[in-house]
Structure 1
Amino acid sequence: MVKTVRLEPIAQESAVETNGNLLSVLLHRDLSVLKECGGRGMCATCHIYVNRGMESLTPISRREQRTLAIITSCHANSRLACQARVMGNGVVVELPPGMYVNSVQDIEPLIGRRADQDLLHPLTGAVLVEKGKLITRSMLRQIENSKDLNLNDYFQHST
């Protein structure tokens, strides 16, 4: 049976099959969600806030709890869209403001510009570059030297 999910702040509604995950709703709407871990609940790139209808979603698993614990922008209403399955109507979700950085190469073309939105670390959700701040080559080197931004190694060693 089809359920309806509302996306904020874009005020759009989307249909999802019962037991379908919220990630499918976001991808269906062409929203910028990286799903860096392939939907395994191990990264922050599909982190969302459930504004209403938490009771209409499947319970949080231990893996999801562990991942949410390291996300710096986590709130009591946080979920990972890849793990939250829709069981009933009335779910209203909101994406955290900002853009998750998939790799340092994502930032290179932006050097010399001001960030249009916060640039976020894909595993922790930490702000790498604040909205309105100038993206500089030295900032890029600092991000490159961040030992925990090597996503390929992280996902190859995590199961």
Structure 2
Amino acid sequence: MAKKVKLDPINQEIDIQTNDNLLSGLLAKDLNVWKECGGRGMCSTCHVFITEGMDSLSPVNRREIRTMEVITTANKCSRLACQARVIGEGVVVEIPSGMYVSEIENIEDLIGSRAKENILHPINGSILVEEGKLVTRSMITQLKDTQIEVSEYMAKIQDA
């Protein structure tokens, strides 16, 4: 049986089957949520905030706790959408604003422009470039280094 999940701040609802994770519904809506680690709970690209209905989700597991310990924007309302299964009604999800550096196809194209939204680190959720900031060559180097770091990290966890 499907449960209604409300999405803030876009004020939409999605249906998610009982015991399915939040990520499945968010991906079906083409929202700014990724699954860099393949839904294994090891990155922050599906990090969301639960503003209502935390008790209508499955309990937080050890892997999720460990991953959320490194997410700099995490708080008591944080969950990884890939690990949070919907078990009841009344869930309201807020998606963190910004885009993950792994979503950018050609980083070089950003030089000299202002970031249209926060650019986030896919492992710890930190802001690499703030919205509205001018993107400089040194920022590009940092973003490229971050992409390499993330690729190496993901390769390591895929082999584990």
TM-score by length of 2: 0.93
Seen in structure 2, the aligned counterparts of structure 1 residues 96 and 103 have a Cα distance that, compared at 3 Å, is closer
Question: Offset at 1:21?
Answer: 0.5
Question: Offset at 1:105?
Answer: 4.5
2:9 corresponds to: 9
Assess if the C-alpha contact under 8 Å between 1:34 and 1:102 holds in 2. Answer: no
1:113 corresponds to: 113
Question: Offset at 1:100?
Answer: 1.1
CA RMSD of aligned residues (A): 1.5
Query: Counterpart of 2:69 in 1: which secondary structure?
Result: helix
Determine the C-alpha separation between the residues in 2 that align with 1:72 and 1:106. 26
Paired amino acid for 1:55:
D
Question: Offset at 1:149?
Answer: 4.7
Determine the C-alpha separation between the residues in 1 that align with 2:148 and 2:76. 26
Does the alignment pair 1:124 with 2:124? yes
Query: Counterpart of 2:151 in 1: which secondary structure?
Result: helix
Determine the C-alpha separation between the residues in 2 that align with 1:84 and 1:126. 21
Determine the C-alpha separation between the residues in 1 that align with 2:10 and 2:66. 29
Paired amino acid for 1:69:
E
Deviations 1:15-74 (A, max 9, x none): 010001100111111102121000000000000000000000000010000000000000
Runs ≥4 residues deviating over 4 A: 103-106
Assess if the C-alpha contact under 8 Å between 1:45 and 1:100 holds in 2. Answer: yes
Q: Structure 1 stretches of 5 or more lacking a match?
A: none
Assess if the C-alpha contact under 8 Å between 2:101 and 2:143 holds in 1. Answer: no
Assess if the C-alpha contact under 8 Å between 1:104 and 1:144 holds in 2. Answer: no
2:156 corresponds to: 157
Assess if the C-alpha contact under 8 Å between 1:104 and 1:143 holds in 2. Answer: no
Moved more, 98-107 or 69-78: 98-107
Percent of paired sites with the same residue: 54
Assess if the C-alpha contact under 8 Å between 2:107 and 2:144 holds in 1. Answer: no
Determine the C-alpha separation between the residues in 1 that align with 2:139 and 2:52. 38
Q: Structure 2 stretches of 5 or more lacking a match?
A: none
1:42 corresponds to: 42
Determine the C-alpha separation between the residues in 1 that align with 2:130 and 2:106. 15
